[in-house]
Amino acid sequence: MTVEKNINTGTKEDIFPVSTVADSQDQTLLAIQNLRVWFELRKFGFGHAGYVRAVDGVNFRLRRGEAIGIVGESGCGKSSLMRTILGLHLPTKGDVIFNGTKVSEMGTKGLRWYRSQIGYVQQDPYGALPPFMPIQRILEEPLVIHGIRDKDEREKRIHKVFEEVKMTPVEDFLPKYPHMLSGGQQQRVVIARAMILEPKIIVADEPVSMLDASVRVEILRLLRGLQESHDLSVIYITHDLSTVRYFSERIFVMYAGNLVEKASVRQILDNPLHPYTHALMAATSDPDANNALTFKEVPPGEPPSLVTPPSGCRFHPRCSQFMEGVCEVEEPPDFEPEPGHQVACYLYQ
Ligand code: SF4
């Protein structure tokens, strides 16, 4: 039975069958398989001029109730990866698989449902909230779009989610406009809007980087509490290892469109392997001894062009451990020097 046929005739459960046996055994909720997201460059608006390889062969699995952090510099492709997971970009190749179903095969109706299963917390709360809408309407809109026609039901959901994000007394905040709230309160509204459709996954894009230091911890605690109470899976995207380690169970390090190291938080902090991970840790803003800064130098140079990335290992022009005749020849595959710790670097073959 094709997905399209199900959409036309079935209920939500028919459209999106429960996970395969394998998925339910390993608790995979979202699988990213060999994902490529390339954007075509056009010369003066016409004529092919190459591709921006924003995401270029990414693989990972997100389990139910798990929080992962994706860490990398600006321009490494993490925003394109995030937008593809949100269903806003189509994969050029490979798949995003939610609960056993390929997102690319869901069709229009299925895609709308899929988007309701993923809440999005933006980096800039003020920019994320429409300035001329009262908070009540901002929260009501996704409910209306997704077919909650009963006004009482909408009110009930809004009150419940506002209590969960600690915006009480609720009646005091609902008539206000975004500019009447502090940055921390605005971010709580953004989180409430992300939670209002009772999603299974939250994608949080640098959710505290634009907030005052004093409210960052509160917002991280709030997100962590919601994750636990709702058994949410969370994808936390950031450039800063100092916050991701308090939030995630596993960390994936992204460089020039690829994940170059995947491991538990403990493994990354105690035993970072990839030279780029060392560099990120050296650049972190939190000088905690647990960082184990064994790497003394931040590598020179800038992140590479995603249009013409370096051959072989994309990090090789900046790597102090570069091995001529090896590193620039072929892209390194993932090696697994210890269980659950994968690294794309020839030092560990
Ligand atoms: Fe450095 Fe070679 Fe490892 Fe790339 S593969 S990070 S160039 S040692």
For the CA atoms of 210, 215, 217, 219, the dihedral, rounded to the nearest 10 degrees, stands at -80
- 35 Cα distance to chain centroid: 14
Please report the sign of the dihedral spanned by the C-alpha atoms of residue 143, residue 95, residue 274, residue 314: negative
pLDDT at 68: 95
Please give the share of the chain, as a percent, with pLDDT higher than 90.
68
Mutate to test the pocket of ligand 1, among 316, 328, 348 (most ligand atoms within 8 A of CB): 316
Among protein residues, the one whose CA lies closest to atom 3 of ligand 1: 345
Residue 26 banded pLDDT, cuts 50, 70, 90? low
93-98 sheet: strands from edge to edge: 48-63, 28-42, 93-98, 101-102
State if residue 255 touches ligand 1 by the CB under 6 angstroms criterion. Answer: no
- Other beta carbons within 10 Å of 302: 9
User: Residue 344 C-alpha to ligand 1 middle, in angstroms?
Assistant: 8
Domain residues of the chain, as ranges? 28-277
d(CA 152, CA 173): 18
**Is CATH 3.40.50.300 the right assignment for the domain spanning 28-277?**
yes
Please report the sign of the dihedral spanned by the C-alpha atoms of residue 82, residue 215, residue 266, residue 269: positive
Query: Average pLDDT, stretch 82-104?
Result: 94
Instruction: For residue 195, give the nearest of 166, 161, 237 by alpha carbon.
Output: 161
pLDDT at 41: 86
pLDDT at 285: 52
Which residues, at least 6 apart from 125, have a Cβ–Cβ distance to it below 8 Å?
Answer: 178, 183, 186, 187, 189, 190, 210, 211
Which residues face 39 on adjacent strands?
Answer: 52
State if residue 60 touches ligand 1 by the CB under 6 angstroms criterion. Answer: no
User: Residue 274 C-alpha to ligand 1 middle, in angstroms?
Assistant: 8
Output the six-digit token pair for 206. 């640098």
Mutate to test the pocket of ligand 1, among 324, 334, 346, 349 (most ligand atoms within 8 A of CB): 346
User: Residue 2 C-alpha to ligand 1 middle, in angstroms?
Assistant: 44
Instruction: For residue 227, give the nearest of 214, 246, 242 by alpha carbon.
Output: 246
State if residue 345 touches ligand 1 by the CB under 6 angstroms criterion. Answer: yes
Name, of 14-18, 268-272, 288-292, the range with top average pLDDT: 268-272
What backbone torsions phi and psi does residue 155 show, to the nearest 5 degrees?
-60, -45
What backbone torsions phi and psi does residue 19 show, to the nearest 5 degrees?
-55, 160
d(CA 189, CA 174): 10
Query: Average pLDDT, stretch 230-258?
Result: 90
d(CA 31, CA 64): 11
User: Residue 241 C-alpha to ligand 1 middle, in angstroms?
Assistant: 21
Question: Which ligand 1 atom minimizes the distance to the CA of 323?
Answer: 2
Pick the more confident residue, 283 or 342. Answer: 342
d(CA 96, CA 31): 6
pLDDT at 242: 77
pLDDT at 295: 41
User: Residue 269 C-alpha to ligand 1 middle, in angstroms?
Assistant: 20
Pick the more confident residue, 43 or 185. Answer: 185
Pair 320, 282: CB distance under 8 Å = no
96: pLDDT strictly greater than 90: yes
167: pLDDT strictly greater than 50: yes
4: pLDDT strictly greater than 60: no
State if residue 347 touches ligand 1 by the CB under 6 angstroms criterion. Answer: yes
Which residues face 35 on adjacent strands?
Answer: 58
Output the six-digit token pair for 284. 């972190």
Question: Which ligand 1 atom minimizes the distance to the CA of 321?
Answer: 8
